[in-house]
């Protein structure tokens, strides 16, 4: 299934508006593409107990997995354009590595709107795996 990156970026921008970020003010939206062409979105949801905050990427992947999806192609992650590219945090990179292949694409718009693409393995070259134990 070939979904244009721009479609994922638009979906991520739409859900960005729903983010709940009263503490940091840093809103994030994500759109996850599955191999069957379905797209799952997520936004960050903060909590006064910061450890209970969940990132947009993990919301999207959790929604997809809870609906039976297991084969993921790409994710687009957006924030306000002035923030520049919104790279996934370490926890999100590790969660993605649990459920995605090394060539999974992470699409990050820059300040000018260009859609830069990275592979998961380039952003997390030595991710933890219990397969290595």
- The catalytic residues are 57
Strands 72-78, 105-109: pairing kind: parallel
C-alpha 113/C-alpha 37 separation (Å) is: 23
φ, ψ for residue 109 (rounded to 5)? -65, 140
């Amino acid at each position: 299934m070939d979904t244009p990156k721009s479609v994922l970026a638009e979906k991520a921008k739409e859900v960005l508006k729903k983010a709940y970020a009263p503490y940091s003010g840093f809103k994030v939206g994500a759109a996850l593409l599955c191999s069957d062409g379905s797209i799952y979105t997520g936004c960050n949801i903060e909590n006064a107990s910061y450890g209970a905050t969940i990132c947009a990427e993990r919301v999207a992947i959790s929604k997809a997995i809870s609906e039976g999806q297991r084969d993921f192609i790409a994710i687009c992650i957006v924030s306000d354009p002035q923030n520049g590219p919104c790279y996934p945090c370490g926890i999100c990179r590790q969660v993605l590595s649990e459920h995605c292949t090394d060539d999974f694409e992470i699409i990050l718009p820059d300040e000018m709107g260009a859609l830069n693409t990275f592979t998961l393995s380039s952003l997390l070259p030595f991710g933890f795996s219990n397969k290595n134990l």
